[in-house]
Structure formats: structure tokens, C-alpha cells
Chains A and B, each alone.
Chain A
Amino acid sequence: MKQALKTRQICLFFIAFAPITKLFMLPSVVASLAHNDGWITACINLALDLVTLLIINLACAKNNLTFIQLLESAFGKIGGKVICFLYAVYFLLKGFMPLQEQKEFVKLSLYINLPTDLFFLPFFALSFYLCLKPLRAIGRLADICWLFTLAGYLLLIFLSFSGVDFGAIMPVGVNIKGAIKASYHSLNWWGDCVYLLFFMGNFARQKRASVKIILSYVLSGVIVIVAFIFFWGTFTSIAFRQKFAMTELSKYTTVINNVGRFDYVGILFILFSCTFSLALPLYFCCRLLNYVFSLKSPWISPIIANGLSLFFTLFLNQRLSTTTFIFQRYFSLVFLVFSNILPLFTVFIKAKKHTDKGDCYEPNKT
């Protein structure tokens, strides 16, 4: 059977989409708890994700089944559907916070003269459209988007370089307790390793696939760590007040005086990749809902997933701080369980001989 994805696309997927959502509000959230040791927070989260990624990779190498086939073979059809439903809810939650901060970012940073939530709503049209597409669309988008992510990121880093006080991260380790606490509270933003679970059995494993995938995830983590260092080095003690880190970083470069907000080119590149990155949890939520409820029509699950997200986005339109607090306080454990603990068990699942030909993970090939 021809696989929907290639190992290269998985690697580029992590480089293109994994670091993006961590570059907006997370640096200021981490700075408020970990101060100059914010980058250590990122290292802890990265290490946690790498362990999970390694285990999922082992599971991938062990058999050619998709995650759903694996669940079905271990827990039966009903057991599999229950776990998938829980994961669908998890993806809905995982996508929610980045959506809220993106909405705030669009409102406060892009539309200074006319701040309204309405400008963010077209995102749901894109997300709906993407949810109708087959899995290979994600791989192909990754093939393109990694260039935009890296170009945008490098441009912003380059522009902000002159204003960074690298010495500000010293002394290392004085806020280690804060860093550990911050890493627990930022689990919502991390845990992208879980996507590999849903790529299982859908990509052709090439030579040294595991190494390539892990290295790409490390690169995505390094991108975030460097951003954290630059962020603290630029703003130090007032860092926690800078809600949208990446747009603030390059604001003070001298180039801008002559050529206008040139850094917006980088920001727009990052936003381009970010739209897909934000839509990904909804995309996987839709695919799981399709399986759980055996939906024949491809339209129903995107309507449900995007409709719910849209409803809560509008409902909580003035409550970003409250939402962030609730998610950090009450949902961090949920994210830890679904992103980092449950995937560890995949390696222990002994797959029975699966008789289903084809990919049961593609219920609505469009």
C-alpha cells in the first residue's frame, strides 16, 4: 500500500509546525515563573517530549499498524473508540489555548487601529477547509512551510541580535524550582510528539528514520530555546509583561527606522506557518471523530470541531488571562497524561494479526 507520508515530511512537519505556537505567549508565561532560567524550562519540556518521541518511534519500528489499528488490536473496537474519543477531546483542548493567544495577537499586534475579534474569524474557514483534506496534504504543506518558519524565525532573530544582553541569563540555575514549575505549566504548548502517534503506519520508514525524526524534533526545540534566550536577553525583568514575544523582539532594531517595520516580513512568514500549526489539533480531532462515530460525510466532524472552537473563542473573547490560568492550573496534568504518558504504552501493546486491508485511519478520503 502506498503510504500517505514520507519520513522527510514528518521531519519537516516538526521543524515547520512544532516551534511556531511556542513563540508567541509562552516566553512571557515562562519568564514570569522561571525568570532567567526560562530556557531551562524549554530544555526540560524538550527532554520530556524526546523520551516520548523515542518510545513512539520504537512502536512505529515494531509494527506497521496505524495507532487506531494498534488500539483496536489491543482493546477491541469499542476500547479503541473510547481512547480515540478521549484523544479527540484532548486535541480540541490542545488547540484551544494557542487559538486564544493567536486571536489576541492578531487583535492587539496586527490591528492596532481597529482591534476586533472579527478579523480572526476567517481562520476557521481555513481550518474547516484543511480538515476536509487527506493526510498527505499535511505532509505536502510541511514540505513548503518549513522554509517560511525558518526564514521568518531567522530574520527576527537576526534583527533582534544587536539588542540582546546574553549575560542576562547568568547565573544559570538560580531559579531552577521556578523553571520546573514553569515547565509543568507550559505542557499545554509542548507535547507535539503526540502527532507522531497519529502518523504511525501512515509513513514509509526510511533508513534511520527514528534518528532523523528525533533530530528534527531537537531542532524544533532548539529554535524555542534560542528564542527564550533572546527574549530574556532583550527584556530581562520586564519580559513577563511582553505578551507576544517574537513581535516585540525585533522592534528596536535600527533598520526599522529607515525601512519601516521590516520585521513584519518575518512575522508574516511565521504567521503563515502558524495558521496551519493552529489548525492541526482540529484536523486530528476531526479524523478521530470520523473514526469514533464512523461518519460517512466528511463535512460533519469539521463542522463540530471548528464550530466548538469558534463558539469558545467568541464566548471567552475577553478572558485570555483567565483561560491561561485555568489551562495552566487544571489542564496541565491532562496534557501530561495524553502527550507524554499514554503514548509510552504503545511500545508495550502487542499487536494481533490485523486482517483489515488498507488504512482504517482514512475514513473519508477526499
Chain B
Amino acid sequence: MKITQNLQKNKQALSQLQNSDDIVFLDLNIGKSTALLIFAKEIVDKDALGQLVLRPALGLEGQVDKDTLWDCFLNPEKQKVFESEQVIDQVLSGFALLLCDGVDFAVSFGVQKYEKRAIAEPPTSTVIKGPREGFVESLPVNVSLIRRRLKSPQLVFENDVCGRLSKTAVSICYIDNVVDKELLKEVKKKLKAVDIDAVLDSSYLAKYLSDCKPSIFKRVGNTEKPDILVSKILEGRVAILVDGSPIALTVPYLLLEDFQSPSDYYNSPYSATIARFIRLFSVILALLLPAVFVSAELFHLQLIPLSFLLTIVNSIKGIPLSPSYEMFFTFLIFEILNEASVRMPKYVGMVVSIVGGLVLGETAVNAGIISPPTLMIIALSGICLYTVPELEQPLSFLRLFFLIIAGSIGIYGLIIAVSSLMVHLTCSESFSVPLTAPFAPLVKKDLKDSFYKGFLAENNSRPQSLNNKNKRRLDKNVEE
């Protein structure tokens, strides 16, 4: 509904806001005209409201017309609003709206003030060397963190709103002369199609941005660190920032990203390469060690060296459970302890560690319920899982799946399961980019930042796996 020159009529149109006690309708007299200031008192900066809105407004004299009203405010974030629905949206977003009798628009002032967390190091990606700043829940702060790192006119933020009730601010961020326009179009299309009552976290949008095909692997990358996000958009990706979430989304996503740690880029390439291979080896160990051990114990004893076999035989003597049940049981205990330690308050966490590690583990072995090799294998596999924390959930599921397969079919079943996983992964795509790139399909140029980490100076081209617009960094023909 349009804002009219009749203040009473406008007030009636905005009556649905009057039900809530935190919305203030302040009647004013500006010169000889009556006016109405509307704002949500808990989310506006009252000092700014007084200084930038009320003081100049109350200083006006005589009959107030459109131009006088507009010109008297020096607030840099003022704008004209012509629809009552828009007035409601803006009030609920922390703006102050001034309506005046005889003026057919409302003046909106950006005087929002939200309580926000201080910038801190994100707990999910800590580094020894390198920037420690992490995103917070405030979108403007996150935008400022990115802009501070990339002072280029090519860096673009496009704002949108998602969620029917929450009307959460969403910002699409990209580098204009690098990003693939088709990708950008697809991201915008998918965001437009989001029909949900509230977007409480960026993970809500991640599900809409992913393809509909069910998969245990994610199709959208995420980061909590502005330096990582900047490096990703420099490669031609699109980032999506969501107000209220400290986690930014990035697309397209490659599986390899999860094996790359921020510290790899701040340390020497040699140690980064070693660290990446250790992560890969750990993931393979985490996934396959329990399954291979169970299948070797059950079906393929010839796989185990004789001396080790004798140790195992001695340790499993008297264990009432079969190797697969024993492993499954230990796996279950590990997962329960893991879940409990994540959910429990920090001060109880220590108790859980002691109860889990010492009491449960030690006692179970001493009581002859589980054998030491099984306990050791599950513990090692569990630790290995956390070398790539981003993949913890899918790997944990696969570990259980492989364990069941190995316990029932043995090593050939395991090969079939791994092969099926390979088929699934090689066919999965994120925004038309294969998840397994640069290995399948093989992209030679991208291998220098894969498991092998090349020198920074060597890395003068953007990933060819992504369909970015200009493939070379510092290309002379491209405007910066």
C-alpha cells in the first residue's frame, strides 16, 4: 500500500506494528506539521536517533513540505520509502522511519544497533601462524572484514533477503572480473527459489544451494575465516554471507578444499605438502582400518603377519563377542562418548574423558569384553577422522558402513563398497564442477595446490577446474 499525504491513514496502515511493545510510535510536531517517528527501541542507536533525526527535525519551523523534510537531515543512510510494507520491513530491521503529514513518503534512517559478539578466532579453524580473525554473526561486520582485505572496485556485494518471516539479510559476494557469470546466475536463481519461513543459519541455505540428489557429501563449501573466503573468491568462487551466521558459504565446492588447511598457505610448502599427505593417509586409515582389521580377522588371516597374528590370538582369547560385533560395540561406545563430549558443558568434558578413556576402556579390556587391538584400532581411527574435521560426519557414516560390509562380506565386499563410493564421488558435481577435480577429471595445472603444495610464486593461475573468467592471476589485460 502506498504512503499517502494523510498521516492518520498511514498510521492505520501500519497498525499491525502497534501490537508489539518494542515498537515505538512517537508523535511529534515538526514546525506546524504533525509527524510520526516509528522505530524498534531495542535495535536502534538512541544517541544517533536523537542527534541525527530528532534534533534536526524539531529544529524545523513553519509548514513542512517534501523538500524541507528531506533536506534537513544529514544522515548518510537516509532514503525515501513509498510503500507501507517497506516501512514495516525497515522498522523491523532496525531503521527509524519518519512520516509527516502532507508528505507522501517516509524517510528512513539507518540507525541500527545490534548487540554483537567481538571478533575472535573461530574454534573450527585455528592456526598457529596466520590471521586469527573470524566472522561474527553481524553481516555488516563480516562485509567490513572482507572489504578490508580486498580493496578492489571489482569486489561486489549484492544484497538480498531470504526467509518469509525472518527476512534475513543475505549478501552474495564475488569478484566481478573473475567470477563465471553463469555460476552467478545459478546462485542467484537458487537463492531466489528459497521458500522457507526463517533462515537461522547459513547451513539452511546450503541445503537449498545443493543439488536435490541425496548425498552424504556436502556440495557447498564453508568457512569462518575472512582470509580464506577472500582467497576463495579470488579463485572465482561466489560467497554467500548470511546475517546471524558466522559461517560463510562458498560455491563451487571441491572435495580437496577440506584437505587444505589455512596454515598450509602461511607455512613452508614442504611442511604443507607433508601435512596434506598425512591428512589423506589419516582419512584412508580412519575409513578402512577397522573394516580391514575385521575382515582380516574373520576371512583373510593370511593378510596378518604371523607374529602379529599370535599377539591378536592371545589378546582375543576369552572375548565373548565375534570380531565384527566387538568392533561394532567399541565403535558405538566411541560415538556415544564423542556425542556426549560435544554436547556436555565444558567443565563436565574432563569427567567424560576420564570415564570414557580410563574407566570404560580399561575396565572393558580387563573384564575381557573387548580386546586391546580393537580398542586401539577404534581409537586410532577416531583420531585420524579429526585430521580433516570438515569431513568428520560423512567419514564417520562411511566408517560404520564399511565396518558392516567387512564384517559380513569381507575384503571383496569392502573393495566393492570403496568402488561404489568412487563412482558416486566422481559423478558428483557442485555447480557443474566435479567434486573430485583436479584428480578426476585430471587437471594438471591445479595439482600444484592439491596434495602437493607448490610455492606461492608458482601459483600464478586460478584453478582451471572452476569455470572462472580469467584463468591467470595478475593478467595484464584484465582491469584490477
Contact = CB atoms under 8 A, between A and B. Distances in A.
B305 A141 contact: no
A12 B426 CA distance: 15
A119 B423 contact: no
Interface in A129-144: 129-130, 133-134, 136-137, 139-141, 143-144
Contact of B442 (A112, A134, A143): A143
A130 B303 contact: no
A264 B295 CA distance: 13
Contact of A130 (B413, B423, B434): B423
A354 B367 CA distance: 76
Contact of A268 (B308, B409, B415, B442): B415
A140 B304 contact: no
Given A126-B416, A143-B440, A275-B416, A260 B423 contact: no
Interface residues of B, number: 32
Nearest to B213: A366
Contacts of A125: 416, 420
A122 interface: yes
B304 A260 contact: yes
Given A110-B410, A110-B411, A141 B420 contact: no
Contacts of A141: 422-423, 426, 440
Interface string B406-419: 00011111011111
B325 to A, nearest CB: 17
Contacts of A271: 412, 415
A1 interface: no
Nearest to A144: B440
A259 B305 contact: yes
Nearest to B443: A143
B16 interface: no
B303 A122 contact: no
B300 interface: yes
Contact of B419 (A126, A134, A140): A126
Given A122-B409, A260-B306, A140 B415 contact: no
* Interface range on chain A (Cβ under 8 Å from partner): 35 or more
Please indicate which of the listed interface residues B309, B418, B419 has the most CB atoms of chain A within 10 Å of its own CB.
Answer: B419
A133 B419 CA distance: 14
Given A110-B300, A144-B426, A276 B419 contact: yes
Contacts of B419: 126, 272, 275-276
Interface string A214-226: 0000000000000
Contacts of B108: none
A77 interface: no
Contacts of B31: none
A161 interface: no
Nearest to A139: B441
B348 to A, nearest CB: 44
A59 to B, nearest CB: 25
A9 interface: yes
Interface string B386-416: 0000000000000000000000011111011
A92 B373 CA distance: 46
B416 A144 contact: no
B423 A129 contact: yes
A136 B299 CA distance: 36
A126 B442 contact: no
Nearest to A9: B441
Nearest to A264: B303
Interface string A140-180: 11011000000000000000000000000000000000000
A188 to B, nearest CB: 23
Please indicate which of the listed interface residues A9, A106, A140 has the most CB atoms of chain B within 10 Å of its own CB.
Answer: A140
A157 B426 CA distance: 29
A113 B305 contact: no
Interface string B318-350: 000000000000000000000000000000000
A110 B427 CA distance: 30
B301 A113 contact: yes
Given A143-B426, A144-B426, 16 more contacts: A110-B299, A125-B416, A126-B416, A129-B420, A136-B427, A140-B426, A140-B427, A140-B441, A141-B426, A143-B440, A260-B305, A260-B306, A260-B309, A268-B415, A272-B419, A275-B415
13 contacts: A6-B441, A8-B442, A111-B412, A114-B299, A119-B409, A122-B413, A133-B427, A136-B441, A137-B427, A140-B426, A140-B434, A264-B300, A275-B419
